[in-house]
Amino acid sequence: MKSTYPSNLRGVISQGLRKFHLLLLLIFISSPVFGQQFTPMGRDTYFFDFLTFKAFDGDKTLLEVFCKIPFKSLKFTQTPSGLIAYYNLELTLFNKKNMPIETSSYTDSVKIDSYQEAKNLRAHSEVIRFTFVIKPDDYKAHMIITDNYSLAFKGFRRNLHVPNYTEKGLQASDIQMATSITTTNQQTILVKNGREIIPNVGHIYGVDSEILYVYSELYNLSHKRKSNFNEFLATFTIIDQNGKKVKEFQHKQNKPGKTCAFSLGIPVGELESGQYKLVMDVIDLDNSKTVTKVTNFHIVKDRPVRRIVI
């Protein structure tokens, strides 16, 4: 199976109403349960991860959206060169007056050799990335996935709050979960502050992924070069679905300035299958200011997570 495009990296960036077609890594996951950021459409499951960061463009915020599209949901049509499925993914943001203010779309195709191969698409999916630089406010995100042959479509809506990271006080971006984070000198759409971040859109960890990788950014830190406390302390608490604290992990780091990016891996191999909450509490040790961020994730051990390389 292969995409009819020349690479297995896909992506879309939109800033304003401009559209840039970029490339993003294919991730292959099979799982019986779903994370916080998903929506079932019929019998198929689509994952969406909405993340916000400071945009460093006036008072605007960067909204980063990852979408995980299951190949088994696509409709394949026989052509002289094989079975091909064409699809279009469109994301529109609406303001509080229900007026569309940003739109970006992505079109791609997938080619397979036989219908027998189509039966084995359960573990295959494509991750697509959109970005918007927008003013802080409340929005509605409308996602439409269209089969370009039959014109059948499926839709998804989500309410979004885009925070203002230029306000005073210690602030933290959303927590981005990843399957791996490595340092790099490259500049791609997967790289933030010298780190290549492979997104875990479904927030699912298990047999083959016993390290929960996280990335976040801190803003408005107190930075005094002569201070003896020029550090921040991040405490990560994992809470199970019964509200019980099952693990705590701390990370202390020097502050390079008033803004700081950091990442780490948290071992979760000992956790049982189920849904968990990850709470990040950060304290600036210079002035005792604090900020908290929360996200959810799943541990899946009942069925192995299959990774298929094409």
Q: What are the angstrom distances between the C-alpha of 287 and each of 221, 225, 233?
A: 9, 14, 12
DSSP E strands, 5-81: 9-15, 18-25, 38-41, 44-54, 61-70, 77-79
Contact 93, 105 (CB under 8 A): no
0.95 exceeded by pTM = no
168-310: CATH topology is: Immunoglobulin-like (2.60.40)
For Cα atoms 239, 245, 250, give the angle at the middle one, nearest 5 degrees: 90
Distances (CA, A) of 53 to 10, 140, 166, 171: 21, 18, 11, 10
As given in the structure block, the two tokens for residue 129 are 């990335």
Cα 23 to Cα 148: distance, rounded to the nearest angstrom = 21
**Domain spanning 1-166 has what CATH number?**
2.60.40.10
Is the pLDDT assigned to residue 21 strictly greater than 90?
A: no
Give start-end residues of each CATH 2.60.40.2550 domain in the chain.
Answer: 168-310
Residue ranges, comma separated, of all CATH 2.60.40.10 domains in the chain are 1-166
- pLDDT higher for 127 or 284? 284
pLDDT digits (tens, 9 = 90+) for 230-247: 899 999 999 999 999 999
| Structure confidence by residue, pLDDT tens digits, 36-85 | 344 444 455 778 899 999 998 889 999 999 988 777 777 788 888 788 88
Helix %, strand %, coil % of the chain (to 5): 0, 60, 40
Q: Is 24 helix (H, G, I), strand (E, B) or coil?
A: strand
Asked if 174 contacts 52 with a C-beta cutoff of 8 angstroms, the reply is yes
- Tell me the pLDDT of the chain averaged across its residues: 80
